[in-house]
C-alpha cells in the first residue's frame, strides 16, 4: 500500500460524516424547492412556467437519486473502515487505510452541479413570481 494514497481512519470517518450531512441538507433543500414548485403551479398556468416546473421536478427527482447513491457509497466506505478497525483494533487512531479520491470527486461534482441547479432555480423563482 502506498502511504501517499492513504489517510487516517479518523480523517476518513470525519469526511464521511461531512458528506452525509451535506447530502441530508441537500435532500431537505429539495423538499423545500418542491414545495415552492407546488406554490408556483397553484398560482400560475402559463405553459412556459409549467414546462419549467416539470423540468425542475425532474431535476430534483434525479438529484434525490444521486443523493441516495452517494449516501450508499459513503455507508459502504464506513463499513469497510469498520471491518479494518475490528480486525485489528489496536491503535486504530494511528492506523491508515486506503483513501477514496473517487468518492471525493463524486461529492465535489455533486456539490458543483447542485449549486448550479440552485442558482438556475433561484432565477426561475424570480421570473415565476
| 76-94 average pLDDT score | 84
Instruction: Provide the β-strand partners of residue 6.
Output: 98
* pTM listed for this prediction: 0.90
Q: What is the pLDDT of the chain when averaged over all its residues?
A: 93
| 6-15 average pLDDT score | 94
Domain ranges of the chain: 3-128
For CA atoms 87, 105, 28, 53, give the dihedral sign: negative
| 58-65 average pLDDT score | 98
Amino acid at each position: 500500500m502506498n502511504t501517499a494514497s492513504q489517510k487516517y481512519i479518523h480523517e476518513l470517518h470525519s469526511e464521511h460524516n461531512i458528506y452525509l450531512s451535506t447530502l441530508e441538507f441537500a435532500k431537505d433543500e429539495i423538499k423545500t424547492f418542491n414545495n415552492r414548485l407546488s406554490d408556483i403551479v397553484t398560482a400560475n398556468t402559463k405553459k412556459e412556467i409549467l414546462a419549467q416546473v416539470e423540468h425542475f421536478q425532474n431535476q430534483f427527482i434525479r438529484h434525490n437519486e444521486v443523493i441516495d447513491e452517494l449516501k450508499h457509497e459513503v455507508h459502504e466506505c464506513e463499513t469497510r473502515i469498520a471491518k479494518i478497525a475490528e480486525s485489528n483494533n489496536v491503535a486504530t487512531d494511528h492506523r491508515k487505510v486506503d483513501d477514496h479520491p473517487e468518492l471525493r470527486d463524486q461529492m465535489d461534482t455533486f456539490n458543483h452541479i447542485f449549486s448550479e441547479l440552485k442558482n438556475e432555480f433561484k432565477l426561475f423563482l424570480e421570473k415565476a413570481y
